[in-house]
Amino acid sequence: MHVGVLTGGGDCPGLNAVIRAVTKSLINDCGARVTGIERGFLGLIERRVVALDRRAVSGILHQGGTILGAHNKADPFAWFGAGGADVSGAVMDYVRELGLDALVAIGGDGTMSIAHRFQQLGLPVVGVPKTIDNDLMHTERTFGFDSAVAVVAEALARLETTARSHGRVMIVETMGRYAGWIALEGGLAGGADVILLPEIPYDLEAVATLCRKREAAQGFTLICVAEGARPVGGAMTVAAHMADSPDPIRLGGVGNVLREQLQPHLQGEVRSTLLGHVQRGGTPTPYDRVLATRFGCHAAAMVARGEFGRMVVLRGDGCDSVPLAEVAGRTRTVPLGHPLLKAARSLGISLGETRA
């Protein structure tokens, strides 16, 4: 049996752990031949592959990134390199030339959609979910998320010492454009006093009031805000701030907007930090190494069983799978009744909600 492996989309701690687990498992359990496809689907378009054996995946468990490389925008069904043309036919020809019996596609939403279409074209595919945002349907947790949460918690811990001793409001802006999982768990783990999510529009007055109260009492406030968080009704407010800059990173995002909104209400200084890509790279946490390894081993087992057209998921304490058709294009946001939100409120953490 000859199996191809590729990694698509943005970076995520644990990709190499999956590649290692898939490769070793296929070799040990099926005596399969494994071929790595370089830079995601781009490798199938540009015909760039590399052989994967035990030695090739030795010692990469702890490494961030992906030894295969990845590419964000390479869609064979709309290849901008060919002016948006559909080059999937040429890709299938190459797949046949390589003699691939199956493909393990490790990636996010976009990768799964493309993988699903190749499955329909007759290429047996197993998907492995990849999202640090932990916002994929049908799976409780994805590798990379724990690592991102750890980076956020560490940053909050560092900023807290300064906030405490210098009487400041410290804002940390995390990833999470549509789902607030990273800000929520990162904020809880880092001891944030305010956590703002895309799922709950924040009441600026409520946040400002809490910061004033804390300035008088504890003397400082830690705010953890997801990049997708928005004020009540007022996407406009942000839009206004965005006006002079179409690029949120250039502006510094909602964290800096919030800083400008809060400063006038407070005596102490308000400072904002945008964590950005440090949340996406680097060595995965031990938890993510184990989870990524499990996903990889399960994907290999699915290939061995001929369980194709499906994606690995985590259910309870075990791995399972769901049809690729069911995952594409759907995001798992934080349900308003989620126990972590309840826990946050019990701890006295403000979610930016208007006080009744």
- Provide the sign of the torsion angle of the four alpha carbons 147, 151, 157, 163, taken in this order: negative
132 belongs to an annotated ligand binding site: yes
- CB 235, min distance to a copy of itself, A: 20
On whether the CB atoms of residues 272 and 221 are closer than 8 A, the answer is no
Shorter beta-carbon distance to a copy of itself: residue 54 or 305: 54
Measured CA to CA, the distance from residue 66 to residue 130 in angstroms comes to 12
Q: Is 280 annotated as a binding residue?
A: yes
In terms of CB distance, is 245 or 354 closer to a copy of itself?
Answer: 245
Q: How far is the CB of 63 from a copy of itself (least distance, A)?
A: 7
* Residues involved in catalysis: 133
Tell me how far the alpha carbon of residue 110 is from its chain's centroid: 13
Considering only CA atoms, which of 287, 293, 291, 259 is closest in space to residue 273?
259
Nearer to a copy of itself, 117 or 158 (CB): 158
For 137, phi and psi rounded to 5 degrees?
-65, 155
Instruction: Provide the H-helix boundaries in the chain.
Output: 15-30, 42-45, 88-98, 109-120, 145-166, 181-190, 204-216, 235-243, 248-251, 253-262, 286-305, 324-327, 339-346
Distance CA 285, CA 176 (A): 19
- Measured between alpha carbons, how far is 237 from 142 in angstroms, rounded to an integer? 34
Indicate the residue among 230 and 289 with the shorter CB distance to a copy of itself.
289
Distance in Å, CB of 96 to a copy of itself, minimum: 28
Q: Which is nearer to a copy of itself, 109 or 185 (CB)?
A: 185
Say if CB 348 and CB 334 are below 8 A apart.
no
DSSP string, 39-69: TTTHHHHTT-EEEE-TGGGTT-TT--S-TT-
Q: How far apart are CA 322 and CA 136, in angstroms?
A: 12
Query: Residue 88 or residue 147: which is nearer to a copy of itself going by CB?
Result: 147
- Is residue 55 exposed (0-12), middle (13-18) or buried (19+ Cβ within 10 Å)? exposed
Is 294 known to sit in a ligand binding site? no
140 labeled part of a ligand binding site: no
Is 111 one of the annotated binding-site residues? yes
Cβ 89 to a copy of itself, closest distance in Å? 26
Smallest gap from residue 71 Cβ to a copy of itself (A): 8
What is the length of the chain? Answer: 356
Task: Report in angstroms how near the CB of residue 172 gets to a copy of itself at its nearest.
Answer: 9
The reply to whether 109 sits in an annotated binding site is yes
Q: 127: annotated binding-site residue?
A: no
The binding site comprises 10, 73-74, 108-111, 131-133, 168, 175-177, 227, 271, 277-280
Known binding residues for Mg(2+) are 109
- Binding-site residues for ATP sit at 10, 73-74, 108-111
Binding residues for substrate: 131-133, 168, 175-177, 227, 271, 277-280
